[in-house]
Chains A and B, each alone.
Chain A
């Protein structure tokens, strides 16, 4: 009996740790982008190192959690859904790391007139991800409440879309001084930042369905 609860306790700790890592990763991404936009190169380099470490830790934890779930055949009815949810969470930190590396490799130049828009875009996109993470925690403890917590995620995702569209419009309509390649390059980064909220929305969809299944 104690063995049953011991396995469960260990896995609860690991899942919490995994969620914390992803949350931290998303926050590091946000700070990293802001550092880049403010031209704080050293801080940005720190964030790159941090996100690298966090992403590796998340991968390690995810593998460990998968292993525990299958070895002790825990939650056999929901294991596939939970695996897919953890995968999507991992994708969140993966894409945050990839995007931060894109900044480091491609070194995009953001004109002053558009920098504020990119800051708003980053804040909103990351906010969507930060809203879905507590919902993941709640799913394990109180699945009934999950659906109520997801409305914020959808709100921030829509806001991000709007800001992203306005940035693209501004780039291509109101900034003739930039050449096309530059416009497209900046647009590409708007898409990168926006992808965080898109992933958060996908995770919210999965969570919503899983909560519904559990409550039936």
Chain B
């Protein structure tokens, strides 16, 4: 029970890792409704646990080289500092990664206990933070090219392609979850591996070691994080932050899974060594940053117009700010745990050595100072434990502690200034972005108005019903006019019919209009015919009515039919 209490900080870190990082694997698939959340959560949880148990040892050994905590309280504090840093920086909307937070915390612990930090291991870890996103980008470009080639060669129905894509998203998602578990379990449980010891479970044909049991618990925490809290994150990532097409998402997830797998596979590293290549550093890397690297890689391949390069600045800032924040927080928390709760944060081995050397029982807090001083002096070769002088101890401790506090204060101030600068810069950027989006919106509105007006005019031209209505209206007016003309000329038309029975209705109508002394243009417009057609009709009428040459047609009609 006490072990579980101490493990709680690591479990919380695992939970938050599951809640956030599962979105990098299934975010687009769930956000775009290609895969149901329930399916994604179940597959994600199972494969994260499998990855953690089967392949989680490699990366955690590297973290152990950076700082190996023998005490449960120290491991608890280190994991808590990392998780609080992640929580705090996420709330401040700053880029954060659990890998960087845990490394910062371990360095903070090293600093507090005066354990030497292995610069070689640290360099190896930091270099993978940089090479991870770059490798992700390279993989993404290669895979994207392959996918394009395959799409050109294989001609599938869109629906079969969709089914295949769904299946691939599930399979590659499972591989991504496995790699995430294998690589990132070190962040969650890596610090506890030397402090917690379970009895191995022997199943006959395989044995589950203490580490694997610890990783299984951590995997369950990640799984719970996926099931309980990742839905919202997945939907946000899928729809807004990372609106990728499912094909691009597949490439991104596969690249991320490959990078995580490479940085956690012992067998692959051994295979490299066996063929004379340098070994692969097995280090926990940030899955989010690999994803960003992969997206940027695809963006660059496509021409690089839509890439937001400022995100690279944010990542670099995360590499510096997260470990510093976690380190400082861890230092203060260790101080607090050590002096207030009187917990051993150094480790049992050192503790026992000190007791035998001095033969006097000491409190945990003073043992820390003893350890710091003893180790420093022993390392520098100035004094040995036997020459240790009890009366000089308080002065030395005081001066060393002051120096440490000064360092920490300076680091803290510089960290706060970086945060302030970032916040100011991001506010400015937000203002610029809102101005740009306002201008874009205005421009789009103008374009929409223009499009609507064009569409309206097109509809007017093309819609037969509307056109018919217009004509019907026109036709109605003409009918009315014709009715009036017929009414006024009823007697005239009757006489005309008697005199010339072969006359058509149109000819009679024309004669009636001519009798009204209307011009050719006016008549043509009333009858809706061109003037040339009217002229031809008039000639025909002249012939039919036998109009003499010396008199006009209208005058002839007026004179003949004086009513």
A residues touching B (Cβ–Cβ < 8 Å)? 1, 4-5, 7-9, 11-12, 15, 73-78, 139-143, 172-174, 176-177, 179-181, 184, 187-188, 191-192, 194-195, 198
B residues touching A (Cβ–Cβ < 8 Å)? 32-34, 155-160, 162-163, 166-167, 245-246, 462, 464, 467-468, 471, 475, 478, 504-506, 527-530, 533, 537
Once the chains bind, are A179 and B506 in contact (CB under 8 Å)?
yes
Once the chains bind, are A73 and B158 in contact (CB under 8 Å)?
no
**Residue of B464, B527, B533 ringed by the most chain A CB atoms within 10 A:** B464
Give the nearest-CB partner of B156 in chain A: A141
Distance in Å from the Cβ of B484 to the closest Cβ of chain A? Answer: 16
**Bound complex: CA of A5 vs CA of B157, how far in Å?**
11
**Bound complex: CA of A192 vs CA of B160, how far in Å?**
39
CB neighbours (8 Å) of B505 from chain A are 179
CB neighbours (8 Å) of B529 from chain A are 172-173, 176
Q: Could you show 8 A-B contacts with beta carbons less than 8 Å apart?
A: A12-B157, A15-B159, A75-B162, A188-B468, A191-B467, A192-B464, A195-B464, A198-B462
CB neighbours (8 Å) of A75 from chain B are 158-159, 162
Instruction: Given A5-B160, A8-B159, check contact A76 B464 (CB 8 Å).
Output: no
CB neighbours (8 Å) of A173 from chain B are 529-530, 533
Once the chains bind, are A12 and B159 in contact (CB under 8 Å)?
yes
CB neighbours (8 Å) of A181 from chain B are 475
Distance in Å from the Cβ of B153 to the closest Cβ of chain A? Answer: 12
Give the nearest-CB partner of B166 in chain A: A4
Distance in Å from the Cβ of B474 to the closest Cβ of chain A? Answer: 9
CB neighbours (8 Å) of B468 from chain A are 188, 191
Once the chains bind, are A77 and B158 in contact (CB under 8 Å)?
no
Distance in Å from the Cβ of B457 to the closest Cβ of chain A? Answer: 15
**Bound complex: CA of A194 vs CA of B528, how far in Å?**
23
Give the nearest-CB partner of A4 in chain B: B163
Instruction: Given A8-B160, A8-B162, A77-B245, check contact A172 B464 (CB 8 Å).
Output: no
Give the nearest-CB partner of B468 in chain A: A188
CB neighbours (8 Å) of B163 from chain A are 4-5, 7-8
Once the chains bind, are B32 and A76 in contact (CB under 8 Å)?
yes
Once the chains bind, are B157 and A141 in contact (CB under 8 Å)?
yes
**Residue of A9, A76, A179 ringed by the most chain B CB atoms within 10 A:** A76
CB neighbours (8 Å) of B533 from chain A are 173-174, 176
Once the chains bind, are A180 and B162 in contact (CB under 8 Å)?
no
CB neighbours (8 Å) of B158 from chain A are 75, 78, 139-141, 143
Contact of B32 among A1, A77, A177 (CB under 8 A): A77
Instruction: Given A176-B506, A179-B505, A191-B467, check contact A76 B159 (CB 8 Å).
Output: no
8 A-B pairs with the lowest CB-CB distances in the bound complex, closest first: A191-B464, A8-B159, A76-B33, A8-B163, A4-B163, A73-B33, A140-B158, A75-B162
Once the chains bind, are A180 and B167 in contact (CB under 8 Å)?
no
Distance in Å from the Cβ of A163 to the closest Cβ of chain B? Answer: 15
**Residue of A75, A173, A194 ringed by the most chain B CB atoms within 10 A:** A75
Give the nearest-CB partner of A76 in chain B: B33
